[in-house]
Structures are given as C-alpha cells and as structure tokens.
A and B are shown apart, each in its own frame.
Chain A
Amino acid sequence: MHKEVRKWMGVVMVVALVALSACAGPATPTAATPTPGGEATPVPEKATPAPPTEEKVSITFCTHSYEPWKETLLKWIDEYTAEHPNVEISYVSYPMEDQVMKLVTGWEAGTGETVIGIYGPWLASMVDGGYLDPAPDWAVEQVKEDYYPIGMEGSSIEGKLYGVMQHMGTPLPILSVDAYEAAGIPESEYPDTYDDLLALLPRLDKKAADGTWEVQGICLPTFGPFQMIDWASPLFSYGGKILDDTGTKAAFNTPEGLEATKVFRKLHYPDADINMFPLGKCGMWWYGSWSRPMWTGVSPDLRVKVLRPLAGPAGRFHANYTWSWVVNAHASPAQKEAGWDFVKHITTKKAYLELWNAVSLMPARKSAYEDPSIKDDEFLQAFGKSVPDTVIYYPPIAKWEPVEAAITRLLERVTAGELSEQDFLNQAEQEVNSILAGE
C-alpha cells in the first residue's frame, strides 16, 4: 500500500504538471482581462472615445524620473485629482534601464500601467505588440500646431500618432568656455565642423607628468546608449544611413560610414571620464539641456556655450530622440479617457515650463520658448534653435532594440581600441542583417 500510494501520488503529480504546462496559453490579454482599477473589458480592435463619465476610475502613471522631476510629477497628479475627484492616480517609477522590461512584462500579464512615459526607440516594438492606444484627435491637433516636426515623427508609427512628446533629448555639443579660454582658443575659433573639433583637441588635451589627465579635450561616454547617438551624428553628417529605406537591411557599411566611424573613434578617448566635464576639466561633451544640473551642482560658475550641431560633408545632422506620454491600449475605456485627459493636463505650456524649471528638460511646445520666463535663457534658447538641425536617429521598426544593442556592443569595442573601423562595419552589418532577417 505504501509503495502504491507513492507511485500513484507521483503519477498524479507528473500528469497534473504536464497538463498545466501544456495548457499554458498566451498571457497577452486577448479575452476579457481585468486591468487594475478598471472593469474587465474586451480589447477593442479600434479605440473609440468613451462618453464622459463620473464613475470612479483608477489609473497608474509611470515614467523614469529622479528628484526633483518626481516632485513635479506628483504635483501634477495632485492638481489633476483635485480637479477630477473621481480619478485616482498612483505613480510608479522604474530606472530607465529596467523600464522596457517592466512595462512589457506588465502588459503581457495584463497589469500594465495606464499612462506611461516611453523612450522613442521603444515605440515601434510597443505598437507592434499592440500595447499602445492611438492618440485622440485633440492630441494630433496639439502636436501639429505647436510642436517641432520631431514631435510628430518621434511619436508616430506609419503616420499614426501614439503619444504626445514628454521631452526631447536633443544632445548637442556643449563647450566649456573656461577650458577653451585656458587653452587659448578664442570664440572665433570655436568648432563648427567635425574637422574643426578634431584639429582643436590636441590644443585642449593636457596631461600631468605622470600621465594622468588634467584636461580632456572632449569626454564622450565610452559605453551605453549614447554610443549609438554619438556615432549616428557623424554618420548622418557624412551622408551615411543606418538602415535602408525599407528598414530591412543595414546601410552603414559604406565609404561614408567608414569616415564617420573614424571620426567617432577619434572623438572617443578610451579612458574618457564624463565626470571631468562637471569638474571643469573637459573641453566639451554632447548631452541635452537636461545635463545642466550635472555641473551646476558641482561647478556652479562653470561657463558653457551650446553649439549648433557640428557639420560634416553632407550637412549638419545631430542625432535626436524623444520621450512620449502614451496610454495603454488594454486599459478600460474609462481608464483610457482619464489617461488621455491626464496627458492633456501634463502637456500644457505651463507643464513644460515647470519641467524645464525642475530638471532642465527642453519644452516640447514651440510656444513655450516665447514665454517671458525663459525668453532670455541663452542656454535653453540655443537648444530650441538647434532642434531643426537634429534628426530622429532610430528607424520606426519593431526590432530596433536588438539592432541598437548589437551596434552599441561593437562600438564599445571600437572605443576601447579593440576593433578597427572597417571590422566594426563588417561585423555590425552581419549582425544587424541577421537580426532583421529574423534569425
């Protein structure tokens, strides 16, 4: 009996486990799936606006943030919920590196947040996965009327708008006036082209007798997502492209790509330390307006100048990216309505100006730049004026993330001096084509 009990218990357990596993179906909510705070509802094929309702609605609001950005976001929530007492908004934040994974797994499990701030390169894959609700008409009108063209481009897939811009990254050359003055370089000689910059670097670089850096002519990050941006900028300015027009093949292994990669490598010192810029020991870095708090807290008297994107033989095209406010396609109609209404609240000119004041994020609306509070801010105005010289660097394809990851991995080896420019182009082309072919 003892042996039999054991035997049958074992059989029952294995059968149950196999049956449970085999029955595991897709987690993507295709049937009626409850979303947090809302009622279970079938996923609609086409988003239709729900009639105004006073029913109690709970939505979640998620974006990557840091102090004091978070304080501004919480203030917006308080303002909105004071005006709309039937709406309850809970705020969630993830570090940027973890965000896409958290969002996607949450959506797959049917527990995704309602209103989310997403990074532009993620947009295509999220639309492809059916996660994002198309933007309502008021949003389309708002973006067309008062946003830079990249406001539409950065939040649209195949001409359809899916979000309203949260902010533009707009990395630009930010020059340290102090470092250039110390090197005896007057303003008239400030670089305008990549060749100018490369010629100036030896005059700026300074090392101590023991070989340690005292001043680095330029300090660009040697790893991470900005590798892609810092490579795409000279690539575009030298007439190169990342992918072909169909978005199915690599198009950067060209003479222009080679020249641009050589420029990229010369601008990236293997031992560059971005901490040098806030310490006033670096001639230039390429970051957005949001980087201002990174040095004002350390060297408040550091004098800087924002330059126009550097020019190459094909023109002036610095890589840009956007973050957009989007709404979860699987939320209930009431949640979507409240979500888009909340997006409207946080994309007013006033809201963008508050974001600028809190964390130096460039206002997305053109009209914000005329506001008296920032009209005389030379630093911000320089960014605003340069936006037309920037381009969204990522093609709107669902497989962009693995493509960017593959290129970035190889760029890091170029920066470390472990891979020649041509070998990088060859290997990157092979990997990118393999990813795009679905292998």
Chain B
Amino acid sequence: MRISPRRWILGRGGVWRSPARRQQSLFVWLSLIPILAFFGFFMIYPIFSAFNVSLRQWRIGKPDHPFIGFQNYAWAFRDDLFWVSLKNTLIFTVGHMGLAMVLGLTLAVILFSMRQPWRGILTTVYFLPVMTLMAVAAYIFYDIFSPVTGPLNYLLRFIGLGPYNWLRSSTTAMPSVIVVTTWKYLGIHVVIFMAGLTTIPRELLEAAEIDGASKLQSFFRVMLPLLRPTLLFDLVTGTISCLKVFTEAFILGKASPGTATRTVAIHIYETGFISFDLGRASAFAFILFIIIMIIVLVELRVLREQFEY
C-alpha cells in the first residue's frame, strides 16, 4: 500500500506519525497557549521590560529615558553601597542556611524517631512560625531585642549576662536578623528533611544496626548520603530565598546602624524609590539575578556529582 507523504510525517526518532497523532500534538500545543501567554505576559515580559529599563537612564519624574547601554551595570562596580549590600547578603545566606539546615536536620531526625501523636504535634509546633507574617514577626522581635525594655535582655540579666544592644551594634545586628529568619523558617526545613527521611529504606538502617553501627555512624554513613537529594533541594531553594532577603532585614535594620543589615534587595529598593533611579535599580536586580543563577549552578554542579553513585 502506498503511503501518501502528505498524510504521514517522519517524527522524532525516525518514527512515522499518523495524522491523528499530529492532531493530538496540535491540540496539546493550542491548549497550552493560554497558560504560555499568561506566563509570558506576567513573568517573561516584565523581565524583558526591566532589562530594557536597566539599559536606560530612567529616573522617576523625568520623561526622557535615553538609551545608555550598560552604564548602569558599570556603575554597580563603582558603587560601594552595592558591594556592602552584597557582602551582607552573602553573610546572611551562609549564616541562615548553615544554621537552619543543621538545626532542621537535627530536629527532623529526632522527630522522625518519635511516635505519633508526638511527632505530629511537635512538627506542627515547629511549623507554626512559618505561618506567621514576617513583617509581624520582625516587629515583635524588634521589641524583644530592645536593650532596656526588651524581654531577652531581661532574661539574660537573670543569669548575669547583658544587657546587649542586639540590633544597635554592627557586630550583632546581622546575626540577630539571621536568628529571627531561622526561627521563622526552621519549620520548613524540618518538614523537607522529614519527607526525605521517609524515602530512606528501613532495611538499610536495620542492617547497619545489626552490623554494629552506632546511631551516629548510621546517621553519617547511611542516612546522610541517602539524604543528599533532599539536602540539595533544601540548599538550592533556601539559597535562592536568602539571596533575595528583604522584609526582616528592612524592618529589623531600622534599628541597626548604617549599613549593618543592608541587603541587595534593600539597596535595589532604595535606589529605585529613595534615589528614584529605576534604571540603576533594574541593573542591580539583574546583577542579583545573575549572581543567584551562578551560585545555584555551582551548588547543583558540586553537590549533584556527589550523589550520583
């Protein structure tokens, strides 16, 4: 039987595809158009638009926006405040992720070894701060950290310590922000790690126990290697969030001196809405985007290799 070439086409992999199959593909693509259009208009278009703004001298209140190429990007290298902000952001990221992952994993292992209903109750307790608004939490901690009237210093005095000016010192301001953020988001890390722990086959842990491994040895030699995909997921998603930190640094930073808690996101905000320079603010935003991309790619590259076994 002669096959008309107009009715059948050679698809991928050298497979002849039927007209029905073609129609099916077309239907799928047409169905995707609305969501692609939505995604394109509300996510991709603003990115292109912001890039356009970043290539122009764009000041709020000035009608002319001349094209200036990459001058706004070049400015970032001369802007001391941008580098200070970047340094603070990286310190925050390393500090928070280090603390949150260690604490989160420890808590997850402990909770995972518990029986219901305590496992569920305590997991819920640790997750409660996640459900609060960060702005509200930041304002509450603002008062908690107060050197004279704050309850934290009041408690420390009972054990002969303090009072400390937690937010008023450049040394302790950023660690205070890290503590608040860790308190708020610890629950998410716990839940992620607990989900990862459920994927570890019990038999492996039992086998390790039979072979005489201690709890710690089981943890480091069996659990941790098998948790690497979960660790990678937690690290990548957490890093992306940390590099964009704004709310807690902004609110708690009101009491901290100078640029102690100034992050890149705050710098972008102030450049755009205090200095009214949207061109530079957009450029800083793209630079942050590139930095996030590089860091995440490095994390994926380094850590993914380690769990391909």
Tell me the bound Cα distance from A6 to B28 in angstroms: 12
Q: Which of A20-28, A285-293, A331-339, A376-384 contacts B (4 or more CB under 8 A)?
A: A20-28
Chain B residue at minimal CB-CB distance from A402: B275
Q: Which of A3, A24, A104 has the most chain B CB atoms closer than 10 A to its own CB? A: A24
Tell me the bound Cα distance from A439 to B255 in angstroms: 28
Q: Which residues from B are CB-within-8-Å of A17?
A: 40, 44-45, 48
| Per-position binary interface string of chain A over residues 98-137, scored 1 when its CB falls under 8 Å from any chain B CB and 0 otherwise | 0011001100100000000000000001101111000000
Contact of B61 among A28, A213, A270 (CB under 8 A): A28
Tell me the bound Cα distance from A439 to B12 in angstroms: 56
Tell me the bound Cα distance from A128 to B276 in angstroms: 12
- A437: Cβ under 8 A from any B Cβ: no
- B51: Cβ under 8 A from any A Cβ: yes
- B221: Cβ under 8 A from any A Cβ: no
In the complex, the answer to whether A412 meets B257 with C-beta atoms within 8 Å is yes
Tell me the bound Cα distance from A271 to B40 in angstroms: 51
In the complex, the answer to whether A273 meets B146 with C-beta atoms within 8 Å is yes
Q: Which residues from B are CB-within-8-Å of A416?
A: 165, 168-170, 257-258
Q: Which residues from A are CB-within-8-Å of B124?
A: none
Interface hits, B167-212 → A, CB 8 Å? 168-170
B-side interface residues, number (CB < 8 Å): 45
In the complex, the answer to whether B48 meets A275 with C-beta atoms within 8 Å is no
In the complex, the answer to whether B258 meets A409 with C-beta atoms within 8 Å is yes
Tell me the bound Cα distance from A28 to B278 in angstroms: 13
Q: Which of B62, B147, B149, B258 has the most chain A CB atoms closer than 10 A to its own CB? A: B258
- B308: Cβ under 8 A from any A Cβ: no
Q: Which residues from A are CB-within-8-Å of B9?
A: 1
Query: A28 with B256: in contact, given A20-B49, A270-B168, A271-B168 (CB under 8 Å)?
Result: no
Chain B residue at minimal CB-CB distance from A210: B157
| Interchain nearest-CB distance for A109 vs B (Å) | 11
Q: Which residues from B are CB-within-8-Å of A24?
A: 49, 52-53
Chain A residue at minimal CB-CB distance from B9: A1
Interface hits, A401-416 → B, CB 8 Å? 401-402, 405, 409-410, 412-413, 415-416
- B117: Cβ under 8 A from any A Cβ: no
| Per-position binary interface string of chain B over residues 69-105, scored 1 when its CB falls under 8 Å from any chain A CB and 0 otherwise | 0000000001000000000000000000000000000
Contact of A213 among B29, B53, B148, B270 (CB under 8 A): B148
Chain B residue at minimal CB-CB distance from A216: B148
Interface hits, B221-270 → A, CB 8 Å? 254-259, 270
- B273: Cβ under 8 A from any A Cβ: yes
- A418: Cβ under 8 A from any B Cβ: yes
In the complex, the answer to whether B61 meets A128 with C-beta atoms within 8 Å is yes
What are 30 A-B pairs at a CB distance below 8 A?
A1-B22, A2-B17, A5-B26, A16-B40, A17-B40, A17-B44, A17-B48, A18-B48, A20-B48, A20-B49, A22-B52, A26-B65, A30-B63, A104-B60, A104-B61, A108-B61, A210-B157, A222-B257, A271-B168, A273-B147, A276-B148, A401-B276, A402-B275, A405-B270, A405-B274, A413-B258, A416-B165, A416-B169, A416-B257, A439-B78
- A5-B25, A270-B165, A270-B168 given. 15 additional CB < 8 A pairs? A2-B17, A6-B29, A17-B44, A20-B48, A30-B63, A101-B273, A126-B61, A129-B61, A129-B276, A222-B257, A223-B257, A413-B170, A416-B258, A418-B169, A418-B257
